[in-house]
Structure 1
């Protein structure tokens, strides 16, 4: 089997997640989608935007990254 520089791709199978939000959050998300459409001249639904918003939030949370790294080190050692 050849050795490739590119590692095996991770599982990219989407996982359906259902959440319930309060009306004020739904209103804010809908307003965000409208502003997004205006800013980029491209419509996007709340359902399309929420995964990107969650990913951005997690990527920017330093405390989460530190805790996750510490937990991974503890379980590996």
Structure 2
């Protein structure tokens, strides 16, 4: 029996020592199932179990960094809401 190939995910291995910010949301249906499956794929790919609370912010960050439209908008609108 051969082992399935390790998936290559867009999300890099997460540094678990980062500062934590609380985020509360409720997901339903396909998105909830997909997120749990992504969590399993991440654990298999990185040999690291991770809580959804740690995984979701990194998925969101990776998405925003890859979104060319958002990056162009940010460049055109440099005033950040971050304090």
Return the match for 1:29 from 17, 20, 35: 35
Q: CA RMSD in A?
A: 2.0
Greater RCO structure (CA 8 Å; 6+ sep): 2
Larger radius of gyration: 1
Structure 1 length normalisation: TM-score? 0.66
The worse-fitting range, judged by mean Cα deviation, of 46-55 and 19-28 is: 19-28
Partner of 1:59: 65
CA distance in structure 2 between the aligned counterparts of 1:28 and 1:40, rounded to whole angstroms: 18
Partner of 1:43: 49
Q: Does 1:20 align with 2:26?
A: yes
The answer for unaligned runs of 5 or more in structure 2 is 1-17
Moved over 4 A (4+): none
Residue 66 of structure 1 deviates from its aligned partner by: 0.9
Paired residues, number: 62
The answer for unaligned runs of 5 or more in structure 1 is 1-11
